[in-house]
Amino acid sequence: MIEIQNLTKEYGRIKAVDNISFNVGKGEILGFLGPNGAGKSTTMNILTGFISSTSGVVKVGGVDILENPVEVKKHIGYLPEHPPLYLDMTVKEYLDFCADLKGVPQNKWKSQKKDIMELVKITHVSHRLIKNLSKGYKQRVGLAQALVGSPEVLILDEPTVGLDPKQIIEIRNLIKALGKNHTIILSSHILPEVSAVCDRVVIINKGKIAAIDTPDNLSKALTDFSRFTVTVAGPENKVKDIISNIYGVKYLETGAKIKDDEYSYIVEADKNVDVRKPMFNQLAQQGFPILELKSLNLSLEEIFLQLTTSEKKEAM
């Protein structure tokens, strides 16, 4: 749905974006991450047609943004970090205004407006002045304007900034629902949020792509071992003796004592060896059942820090 090829943006001698390329598939939710000054906002501004690139190609739905910017903008809904709201308008007036700007036919707008307001749950505040709404509802109105005209692509920049935990969960669930019918690029500094809703992530640093993949695949690529916790019912010394002697296990540590003869253990193993089956078989033979097994892959925060603070930032 979105094709970015060899995209570069220069400001004099400074390359804000340096020859980056990636694609976003139809119906995909892509997390777009980077530290401040990495080139993230510049890339998003080029995608939305707000600024032009120095070189490279950006296509949305097969249409080049430089050759036909008006057509491309019809396919994009944009929610900036600070939604462009007119505070002295009612919600209904504002959405009508946005529909006029986007050239939505009147015969389609009435039903579309009703659907949008129901989707983002602002129908009951449609006659209220925007300035009197809470931060969460203002964010919903901003999201509603991005949906005006039924664009196939949504670009969301920090959509939950400044919201309370309940509002964050509500907006996060809404983004997941929108992902069923839209291609979404989500930029956020709240990395657990990105992990929760995105199919893949692009991490940009100093204008270059540092990594593109799923969080799970990035975690595996950045470590030489697999790491997990396992909770087993059985004597600690015997359980540790069994697990530590399984081929592929590199490190074993007792975690928490759950209750008598029931402990959790932290296990690190060669990532090319699946130790789970032999561990299950050998513990079962001794009558020590596994009660829980949970992966401890690198979190997205740890991945982000490794790729943006390490001296070795090779693209993956």
Q: For residue 126, how far is the Cα from the chain centroid?
A: 30
Domain boundary among 146, 169, 193: 146
| Residue 301 within any structural domain of the chain | no
Domain boundary among 106, 127, 146: 146
| Cα 181 to Cα 100: distance, rounded to the nearest angstrom | 23
- Nearest-CA neighbor of 193 among 175, 178, 217? 175
pLDDT of 314 reads 45
pLDDT of 224 reads 67
**pLDDT band for position 311 (cuts 50, 70, 90):** very low
pLDDT of 133 reads 93
Helix axes of 215-222 and 300-309: crossing angle, nearest 10 degrees:
60
Q: For residue 135, how far is the Cα from the chain centroid?
A: 22
Q: Are residues 141 and 165 in the same domain?
A: no
Q: Are residues 175 and 59 in the same domain?
A: yes
- Nearest-CA neighbor of 156 among 181, 135, 178? 178
| Residue 267 within any structural domain of the chain | yes
Tell me the two tokens of residue 81.
């970090």
Across the chain, mean pLDDT equals 89
| Cα 304 to Cα 204: distance, rounded to the nearest angstrom | 10
- Nearest-CA neighbor of 290 among 243, 231, 241? 231
> Exposed/middle/buried for 261, CB within 10 Å: 0-12, 13-18, 19+?
middle
Domain boundary among 106, 123, 146: 146
Find the distance separating the first CA and the last CA of the chain, reported in whole Å: 22
**CA separation, residue 20 to residues 12, 163, 273 (Å):** 18, 32, 35
| Cα 80 to Cα 156: distance, rounded to the nearest angstrom | 6
pLDDT over threshold 90, residue 252: yes
pLDDT of 310 reads 55
**Mean pLDDT, rounded, for 46-75:** 90
Local structure of 197: helix, strand or coil:
helix
Buried b (16+ CB within 10 A) or exposed e, 78-107: bbbeebebeeebbbbebbbebbeebebeee
Q: Are residues 119 and 254 in the same domain?
A: no
Instruction: Give me the torsion for CA of 64, 50, 4, 40, rounded to 10°.
Output: 180
Q: Are residues 236 and 117 in the same domain?
A: no
Q: Under a CB-based contact definition with an 8 Å cutoff, are residues 75 and 151 in contact?
A: yes
- Domain membership of residue 161 as a residue range: 1-75+151-214+311-316
Domain count, the chain: 3
Helix, strand, coil percentages, rounded to 5, for the chain: 35, 30, 35
Q: Under a CB-based contact definition with an 8 Å cutoff, are residues 183 and 286 in contact?
A: no
CATH number of the structural domain spanning residue 278 = 3.30.70.3100
Task: Give 177-224 pLDDT, tens digit per residue.
Answer: 888 889 999 988 878 778 888 889 999 999 999 989 888 788 777 776
**Mean pLDDT, rounded, for 295-308:** 80
Local structure of 52: helix, strand or coil:
coil
| Residue 306 within any structural domain of the chain | no
**Mean pLDDT, rounded, for 111-122:** 92
pLDDT of 100 reads 94
Q: Are residues 56 and 195 in the same domain?
A: yes
Task: Give 123-160 pLDDT, tens digit per residue.
Answer: 999 999 999 998 888 988 999 999 999 999 999 988 88
**pLDDT band for position 277 (cuts 50, 70, 90):** very high
Q: Under a CB-based contact definition with an 8 Å cutoff, are residues 152 and 1 in contact?
A: yes
Task: Give 70-110 pLDDT, tens digit per residue.
Answer: 888 888 999 988 888 999 999 999 999 999 999 999 989 99
pLDDT of 315 reads 43
pLDDT of 87 reads 95
| Residue 219 within any structural domain of the chain | no
Q: Are residues 49 and 14 in the same domain?
A: yes
Residues of the chain above pLDDT 70, percent: 97
Q: Under a CB-based contact definition with an 8 Å cutoff, are residues 120 and 112 in contact?
A: no
**pLDDT band for position 172 (cuts 50, 70, 90):** confident
Q: Under a CB-based contact definition with an 8 Å cutoff, are residues 145 and 38 in contact?
A: no
